[in-house]
Amino acid sequence: MLSLNPYRKAIQGEVENLPFCDGSHDIVFSTNLLHHLDDPLCALKEMARVSRKFVVLVEPNRNNLLMFLFSLIKKVERGALKFSQNYLVSLIEQAGLRLLCACSHGSIVPNKTPGFLVSFLEPINKKIPMGFYIMAIAEKTDHRPTHRHD
């Protein structure tokens, strides 16, 4: 993914201690990350710290039967078993963010859904309670930068 970045600038860091100043980004976007962490709340608080306005999250939906089974089978994905929409919303609130929108979405998994099924699944590839992913948009309640205490 870094090789596709048109800016060709790669910054590496750990999500629990992002190498950015407080409020340095308008939007912080994370997809399929939090369920791999021991402390997703710590990471979300750090995302909120470096965000000036919004944090956008996409995580697997354990309420989708296929996602649930996949998470049971693949050890590296087991953290997804706790990720319901309510759990993600709870993390957002605990991180001091204000939820703007959250929904379950999708029946097509990029790069995994067989091509012959795409046209069949397209009509239900939208907001549905048992979608593959939970998407949430949260807003900082105070747009003034917070200060990290090291």
Q: 38 — phi, psi (to 5°)?
A: -70, -35
On whether residue 13 sits in a domain, the answer given is no
* CA nearest neighbour of 109 among 136, 132, 128, 84: 132
On whether residue 5 sits in a domain, the answer given is no
Residues 26 and 14: their CA atoms lie apart, in Å, by 19
pLDDT in tens, 18-64: 999 999 999 999 999 999 999 999 999 999 999 999 999 999 999 98
Domain carrying residue 101: 21-140
On whether residue 112 sits in a domain, the answer given is yes
Q: For residue 119, what is the DSSP state?
A: H
On whether residue 146 sits in a domain, the answer given is no
On whether residue 16 sits in a domain, the answer given is no
Residue 109's pLDDT is what?
A: 66
Matching residue, tokens 């048109």: 6
On whether residue 15 sits in a domain, the answer given is no
**Structure tokens of 50?**
């470096």
Looking at the DSSP assignment, which residues form a beta bridge with residue 135? 58, 103
Q: For residue 52, what is the DSSP state?
A: E
pLDDT in tens, 93-123: 999 999 999 998 876 666 666 777 767 767 6
Cα dihedral 71/95/26/133 (nearest 10): 20
Give the chain's domain count.
1
Residue 136 belongs to domain with CATH number: 3.40.50.150
On whether residue 148 sits in a domain, the answer given is no
On whether residue 7 sits in a domain, the answer given is no
Give yes or no for a contact between 73 and 109, defined as CB atoms under 8 angstroms apart: no
